[in-house]
Amino acid sequence: MVLEIINSCLTHTLQHNINLIYTLLYNRDIFDNYRTHPNFQDILQNIDIVIVYFADKVDKLEQRSTEYVKEALEMGAKQFPLDRLKKFPELKFKYVEEEQPEDFFVPYVWTLVYKSCNLYWSSESILIFKQQPSLISQ
């Protein structure tokens, strides 16, 4: 699933994901274990094309400071031929709301308020925490 999300970001919004491209270059060895697996070869093909293209851009730099690398990635993203990437269907995500989401969200939000505000609240007096005592102790 993560590989599909990365692939979707590269094929549909490459120019807006310079930090992702940098991270892929920096951690390119992570994908080595997946290259031989037949289920991942199509998706990794796109990721590899992007890595090779941008690695070449970075390798040609005389200075590899953060500014120069970022500029090279931005320019490369504008020039990248997107037709080289295999097209996959765009990923769709759907939020499925539970029947009573307040059972989770109300105690969660109040726990955040309790922990982050600078007011003293007696935890024994807060009735909403009685439902889930583990939230207080965290």
Specify if 96 maps to a domain: no
64 & 27 share domain: yes
CB contact at 8 A, 131 and 107: yes
Specify if 90 maps to a domain: no
- Structural domain including 132 reads 102-137
Whole-angstrom Cα distance, residue 132 to residue 126?
11
118 & 53 share domain: no
DSSP string, 50-74: HHHHHHHHHHT-S---HHHHHHHHH
73 & 110 share domain: no
Residue 135 or 62, more confident: 62
73 & 44 share domain: yes
Q: What is the pLDDT of residue 78?
A: 93
8 & 73 share domain: yes
- The pLDDT tens digits of the residues spanning 29-77 come to 998 888 888 888 888 998 999 999 999 999 998 888 889 999 999 999 9
Counting the structural domains of the chain, the total is 2
CB contact at 8 A, 21 and 77: yes
21 & 49 share domain: yes
108 & 48 share domain: no
66 & 132 share domain: no
**Angle of helix 41-59 relative to helix 66-79, nearest 10 degrees?**
130
77 & 126 share domain: no
Low-confidence winner among 4-8, 26-30, 127-131 (lowest mean pLDDT):
127-131
Q: What is the pLDDT of residue 132?
A: 52
Q: What is the pLDDT of residue 58?
A: 93
pLDDT level of residue 13 (50, 70, 90 thresholds): confident
